[in-house]
Amino acid sequence: MVSKSAGVPVVFDKIEKSFGVVRVLEELSLNVEPGEFLVLLGASGSGKTTALRIMAGLETATSGRILIGDRDVTEVLPKYRDVSMVFQSYALYPHKTVAENIGFPLKVRKVPEAEQKAAILESASQVQIEGLLDRYPRQLSGGQRQRVALARAMIRRPSVFLMDEPLSNLDAKLRGHMRAELKHMQSALGITTIYVTHDQIEAMTLAHRVAILEKGVLQQLDTPAKIYNDPANLFVAQFIGSPPMNVIRGSLAGNSFQTDNAVVTVNPTGQIKEAILGVRPEDCSVVAAGKGSIAGSIYTTELIGDHTLVTVQTAKDKLTVKAPKDFVGKDGDAIGVEMHRDHLYVFDAISGERLR
């Protein structure tokens, strides 16, 4: 078993990147703790992959610095950075066997043959592919290729792991399985890991901390729990959570939020003409018509298994409410939605900022 590494810190210091006039990253600053599993989460085009490639040295930043440990690597070639990367497409060398693929980093370092063999076997057994060493990538399934890519990344024990959506080409069941293995392996090895994904479930389950990017701007950097329970702005609130947070348009006067057919008391106070009230589906409940905070009618109901999702049509918005699995209601029935003031989020509709 490989001994646990102490891990090195990684710093993105005011990284800027533009392709021509398009700004892909705007002053991205991130401190990654030693041995931390940091997930860069964002939709496509948010700049998360660019940030990772700048870290790897495959792209150069327009301005800013990259630090690995106490070393400034901004101008350093990729191979001297001591990082290894798992690509979304795995990037296995198709003309080399699994063993040759895994051993390639050691081969270019001219490690003695016997030592290479031992290291390949150790790396391969860590991802349970020691039986496949003589095969070629084309003879492997998606999950096995994924493991080969991981083994190749691990074999030279880098300071930093970079992973670019490594699980997105796997089917749903395998993805869940690999997620758990990845998490276990990372904590066992203790190597600082930066992981890029657009999948919020992966982000929430794998990360020690999640950095949410949108249009090249860092929206929030926090633990998964804080990201979920205490979103910094409307984007984060809507991006995280499935089904996503309900939003109700209205205005805020003092601590009462007014929408077309209801007034809801909230915790933050302020005077905003265009405000948005956010509430997660599990933080509200359906009650009999005439009761609750907002009145509406049932638009549709979906039985998920352990619960039922009820979509309620109010005056202007549709709200999704998590109800017990034995909920019964006909489409069009009048109904009320009850919300608790401690679980409500208020945002400025124009800036998207959260009011606290």
Partner 1 sequence: MTNATYKLEKSGRTFLERLFEPPAIGKMSPVANVTAYAILLFWSAFVLFPIYWVVITAFKDAQTVNEGPYFIPFVDFEPTLAAWRTQFLSDPFCDFYAIGRQIVLLAYNSAAFIVSPVVSLAPMEPQICKVYLAYTNSLVISIVSTALCIVIGSMAAYALARIQYKPKFGNIVMFVILTLVSIVASTYAGVHWLASASVALALFFLLARAFGKHFKGQLGNGDILFWIISQRILPPVVVVIPVYMMFQAVGMIDTHFALILVYAVANLPIVVWLMHDFFAGLPIELEESAQLDGATRFGIFWEIVLPLTRPGLAAVTLLTLILNWNEYIFAVFLSTSKAQTMPIMVAAKNAGERGILWWEMCAIIVVMIIPVIIMAIILQRFIARGVLLGAVKG
Point out which residues bind partner 1 (CB under 8 A): 56-58, 78-79, 83-85, 87-95, 104-105, 108-109, 136-140, 142, 145, 152, 156, 169
Which residue, 105 or 241, has its beta carbon nearer to partner 1? 105
The nearest distance, CB 342 to partner 1, in angstroms, is 46
C-alpha–C-alpha distance, residues 316 and 222, integer Å: 33
Instruction: Judge residue 338's burial from the number of C-beta atoms within 10 Å of its C-beta, 0-12 exposed, 13-18 middle, 19 or more buried.
Output: middle
Nearest distance, CB of residue 151 and partner 1, angstroms = 12
Q: What is the DSSP string of 295-348?
A: EEEEEEEEE-SSEEEEEEE-SS-EEEEEEETT----TT-EEEEEE-GGG-EEEE
Residue 209: its H or E element: strand 209-214
Query: Least distance to partner 1 from the beta carbon of 38, Å?
Result: 19
> CB-wise, 7 or 105, nearer to partner 1?
105
- Distances 190 to 28, 131, 153, 165, 332 between C-alpha atoms, Å: 25, 26, 14, 20, 55
Alpha helices (H) in the chain, listed in sequence order: 48-56, 98-108, 113-126, 142-154, 172-189, 200-206, 224-229, 234-239
Q: Determine the Cα–Cα distance for residues 273 and 122; give it in Å rounded to an integer.
A: 63
- Nearest distance from residue 17's CB to partner 1, in Å? 17
Closer residue to partner 1 in complex, CB, 83/294: 83
Nearer to partner 1, 58 or 315 (CB): 58
Smallest separation (angstroms) from partner 1 to the CB of 52: 12
- Residue 61 or 252: the one with the smaller Cβ distance to partner 1 is 61
Residue placing its CB nearer to partner 1 in the complex, 87 or 299 = 87
Of 29 and 139, the one with the shorter C-beta distance to partner 1 is 139
User: CA 145, CA 123: separation in Å to the nearest integer?
Assistant: 14
CB of 107 to partner 1, least distance (A): 9
Number of neighbours of residue 13 by Cβ within 10 angstroms? 17
Entry field: residues in the chain = 356
Which pair of tokens denotes residue 225? 């729990």
Shortest separation between residue 56's beta carbon and partner 1, angstroms:
6
